Structure 1
Amino acid sequence: MTTATAPRAAARVVDAVKVYGGGDTAVRALDAVDVSFPAGRFTAIMGPSGSGKSTLMHCAAGLDTLTSGAAYIGDTELGALDDRRLTLLRRDRVGFVFQAFNLVPTLTVAENITLPLDLAGRHGDREWIDALIDVVGLRDRLHHRPSELSGGQQQRVAVARAFAGRPDVVFADEPTGNLDSRSGAEVLGLLGSAVREMDRTVVMVTHDPVAAGHADEVLFLADGRLVDRMEAPTADRVLDRLKAFEVRT
């Protein structure tokens, strides 16, 4: 008889609590949340406005600190690190894609992709970066600057930059929020390809059921708590689940 082992967690939070403010005005953004983000998977986080989904991502990624509980990247507890070590961990083991592309306008596409590595004084794996450029379809744009690219192309640069250092996990916060539907679908396809073809891990916060339909699993938050999860989501199933939340509230 074989015993199934749980997949390795690229990131996780344990009994995570986040409180903003104090006294009568305190807001409990996360309320005893336990979540594991498996390595090699594409996980989406959804929920109504104010549900805690962005707070969860920021705390799991080390961009914000928990009031209590613990957050881990791999086996490293973020709360045990001083500011310098936390900064190095985010630089070396975590990638980020945001709604705003955050490209440096004076740098070329190639220079923007390798910027985090250059700032760290690392050459990176040139073979990996070369393959990544082909995955995101930017081979013919490497010498262009951001102003010469469409919004979708700029976000593709941001995706390539996030994966360039081969981080343990990439966190994406509304990565298609500034894109039209076609460009958004291309970026979501790239994130999915990175997971399935390059064995990467992606955690994405989104309000869009279509975007969530690209993930392997969707986690639903409400009032700072994990209230449901959905394997193999589709846009229609996610939308129905969100409508159920609205009826309940």
Structure 2
Amino acid sequence: MSPDSGRHLRDAVATARGLTKVYGRGEAAVHALAGVDIDFARGEFTAIMGPSGSGKSTLMHCMAALDTPTSGQVVVDGVDVSTLGDKALTRLRRDRIGFVFQSFNLVPTLSAAENITLPMDIAGRKVDKDWYDTVVGILGLGPRLSHRPNELSGGQQQRVASARALVGRPAIVFADEPTGNLDSRSSAEVLGFLRRSVDEFGQSIVMVTHEPSAAAYADRVVFMADGSFVDEMRRPTAESVLDRMKTMGDL
């Protein structure tokens, strides 16, 4: 049974019910998601793990309204994503969802400060200066705000991307392998900030990762295989996650 299936968390920030994603047709069809039911609690840090091809990133992209499921329901911050047209989907992604990607996705011609506020500038929304200063301060980006991405290290670029994801106070942040291109020190800095944003500011975060050490920052780890959830773990440690992954044949 999938985690939380058959019941809805009272204060879930995002849910999926019967979520499927099929690529191709007939005998060539690939079932990337095979009827997923999941709740992500508000104010919690969840990590999603599983072997390559298990459906981790597909799930995240469907939950974040970056991809359309074949069937099933996705609800984000009380909004049924399947009922939205293109403009409403754009507003949802812009106003209620934050993104942190492995490849940073920064605009090379903009400064760090401009990259951080870009989504809000596009939306015509005023930046909360106090919150902006808090996020920039926690991430230690103050001295780097005038620098362009090519003048920043990988860790600094990912911290800029993290600030961009959080400065608009989204309902939920989706992070897809956010430390995949970082060294261990930079990884710890970014993960520490994500953890702190949950503990101190009540942020909700869902992170896809293949690294047990990264998953250990989460409150909860859910494990996927063959497009379905197969297990979950609370209060993970790197060691307990590694042991579970070994039983799944991922290592």
Q: State the TM bucket, normalised to the shorter chain.
A: over 0.9
How far is the alpha carbon of 1:53 from its aligned partner?
0.7
Is the contact between residue 49 and residue 56 of structure 2 (CA under 8 Å) also seen in structure 1? yes
TM-score, normalised to structure 1's length? 0.95
| Alignment size in residue pairs | 244
Residue 201, structure 1, aligned to residue 177, structure 2: no
Q: How do 1:146-185 residues align onto structure 2 when only pairs under 5 Å count?
A: 146-185=149-188
Partner of 2:5: none
Aligned residue for 2:210, secondary structure, equals coil
What is the one-letter code of the residue matched to 1:78?
A: V
Partner of 1:92: 95
Runs (5+) with no aligned partner, structure 1: none
Aligned residue for 2:54, secondary structure, equals coil
Runs (5+) with no aligned partner, structure 2: 1-7
Q: How do 1:1-249 residues align onto structure 2 when only pairs under 5 Å count?
A: 6-246=9-249
Percent pairwise identity: 60
Is the contact between residue 19 and residue 34 of structure 2 (CA under 8 Å) also seen in structure 1? yes
Is the contact between residue 50 and residue 245 of structure 2 (CA under 8 Å) also seen in structure 1? yes
TM-score, normalised to structure 2's length? 0.94
Is the contact between residue 10 and residue 38 of structure 1 (CA under 8 Å) also seen in structure 2? yes
Is the contact between residue 7 and residue 39 of structure 1 (CA under 8 Å) also seen in structure 2? no
For residues 145-186 of structure 1, give each alpha carbon's deviation from its aligned partner in whole angstroms, at most 9, with x where no partner exists.
212211101100000000111000000000001001111111
What is the one-letter code of the residue matched to 1:46?
A: M
Shift in CA distance, 233/155, structure 1 to aligned 2, threshold 3 Å: same
Q: Aligned partners of 2:77 and 2:118: how far apart in 1?
A: 24
For residues 104-158 of structure 1, give each alpha carbon's deviation from its aligned partner in whole angstroms, at most 9, with x where no partner exists.
1221111111011011111121111111111111112111221221110110000
Q: Aligned partners of 1:111 and 1:214: how far apart in 2?
A: 29
Q: Aligned partners of 1:104 and 1:17: how far apart in 2?
A: 33
Give the RMSD, CA atoms, in angstroms.
Answer: 1.4
Is the contact between residue 219 and residue 229 of structure 1 (CA under 8 Å) also seen in structure 2? yes
How far is the alpha carbon of 1:45 from its aligned partner?
0.3
Q: Aligned partners of 2:77 and 2:23: how far apart in 1?
A: 27
What is the one-letter code of the residue matched to 1:144?
A: H
Q: Aligned partners of 2:176 and 2:132: how far apart in 1?
A: 23
Is the contact between residue 77 and residue 96 of structure 2 (CA under 8 Å) also seen in structure 1? no
How far is the alpha carbon of 1:198 from its aligned partner?
1.3
For residues 17-66 of structure 1, give each alpha carbon's deviation from its aligned partner in whole angstroms, at most 9, with x where no partner exists.
11111101001111111101111010000000111111110111101111
Q: Aligned partners of 2:120 and 2:236: how far apart in 1?
A: 35
Q: Aligned partners of 1:230 and 1:150: how far apart in 2?
A: 34
Q: Aligned partners of 2:199 and 2:111: how far apart in 1?
A: 28
